[in-house]
Structure formats: C-alpha cells, structure tokens
Amino acid sequence: MPDQPDTQRSTLISLDRASFGYQGQVVIRDATLDIVRGEFIGLVGANGSGKSTLFKGMLGLIPPLSGCVVHAPEISRRIGYVPQRDQLDGIYPLTAFDVARMGPVGVLPWFRFPGPQITRKVMECLEKVGMEGYRARTFAELSGGQRQRVLIARALALDPQILVLDEPTAGIDPVAEESILALLSELNQESSITILMVSHQIQSLRHRVRRAILIKDHGVLSGPAEELLHPDRIIDLLSVS
C-alpha cells in the first residue's frame, strides 16, 4: 500500500507505480511511496535485489520504465550524495578540506571563483562532523570512518534538503560504524535533514531509522523500522525466492 505521510510535512520525493530497470528489463516493479521531509529512512534488501536501481530511480539518475517520479521544487540541486567509496586516488595530495570543498565548488558556474563564503561554509561542515581538526590531513591518511565524515561534510556543504548515503558504514569497524550512525541521527534530529540510507546493517538500522524500505521479489515494502526489520520477520523478507 502507498505510504500515508503526515499531511503537516511536505513530500520531497513521490513515486507512483514507478518501475525501474535497464534496457527494458524490469528490476523494480510498481513502487508507490513518498519520502517526507524530516524522515530518517533505511533502504535494505538482499544482494542483487535492486537497491541501487531503486536508489538511482528515486534520485532521478535513471528514468522510470513506467509510472512517475516527482521531486518537490525545493530539492532541485539540493540533494547531498555520499558514495560508498570515494574514487580519489591516494597518490593525489588532497586534504580533508580539499575533498569537502569539492561539494560546493562542483556546482559553481564555470565563471564563478570560490570565495571566502565557501571556505567558511566548508569549515562549518567539517566542524559539524567533528573533522575540523583534520582539515589539513591528506584524505589518504584518514581512517575509513574519518573519510566517511569528510564525505558527509562535502555533501552538507551543499545545504541539502535531503542527504542520501550508499552503504556509509561499509568496510569500517563497529566503533566507527556506531559513530557514523550517531552522527546521522544527530543531523536528522537537530538539523531536520531528511536522510535516505542504503545499508546491509539490519540491526544497526532498526534502532536508528524510523522507517524502512525493503526490496523483495522486484517489489517494494515500506513500514516502521521496528516492525519491518524485526528479527522474526527479516530472515523471510530478505530470503531469495
């Protein structure tokens, strides 16, 4: 069934019987759901279930094969994306500050030179994620958890209406994972940033996110995280038919 969002909060992304796939081959079928301002949502599914396909479809990176995807006008160019892994080559001596500054600089018109206001904004975002003391360190020197914090700062420097993260805790130790999840919860609660996170860390998600979106058999289920990700239910939901 379609989600029933709180009418007092605005819908940022709406899918109406949207199907996504590649070269006419359906991967996600007839997805109907809303992403409402202020939510913290976890997107889960078995390996190969289509998490990335739904993720790309929701963000408008691939067009729907059928149905429609509607973005609220206020999120135009204000979607902050945090990749699973950064593709920066470690041989380049980019500092944490350089990487975080890529966010706002990357959307400037070619004729605009980044001014002091961008420097201030980037420093504010590094401070917000607890990385201001590492601003002069090279990105290659940082731990996995520290790199993720810098990438989150890069996304925050765009003043996003919605923050989307692709496996932000993949490949980092449990302490760093908990630290990243706590940071995201804080951003959601204190800064009212809408967060959509793809993750395979089911139990960690269950106690952090408010709502879960789960992919199974090309379909999409949505509901309260405590219910949908309950241990008694999740094994069956994530099993491959």
Q: What is the pLDDT of residue 46?
A: 82
As a dihedral over the C-alpha atoms of residue 197, residue 85, residue 65, residue 71, rounded to 10 degrees, the angle is 50
Tokens for 230? 């309950």
Q: What is the pLDDT of residue 1?
A: 38
Q: What is the pLDDT of residue 173?
A: 85
Architecture of domain 1-78+160-241: 3-Layer(aba) Sandwich (3.40)
pLDDT, average across residues 9-29: 93
> Is-contact 13 71, C-beta < 8 A?
yes
Residue the block writes with tokens 């500054």:
101
Domains of the chain, residue spans: 1-78+160-241, 92-159
Residue 139 or residue 237, greater confidence = 139
46 SS3 class: coil
Residue 89 or residue 130, greater confidence = 130
Q: What is the mean pLDDT of the chain?
A: 84
First to last CA, the chain: 21
Q: Is residue 131 over pLDDT 90?
A: yes
Q: Please state, in angstroms and as integers, the Cα–Cα distance from residue 220 to each residue in 53, 71, 81, 104, 144, following that order.
A: 12, 19, 22, 34, 31
Q: What is the pLDDT of residue 227?
A: 87
* 45 — pLDDT class (breaks 50, 70, 90): confident
Instruction: State the pTM of this model.
Output: 0.83
pLDDT tens for each residue of 64-117: 999 999 999 888 778 888 887 555 666 568 899 999 998 776 544 444 455 678
Q: What is the pLDDT of residue 106?
A: 52
pLDDT tens for each residue of 144-162: 899 999 999 999 988 888 9
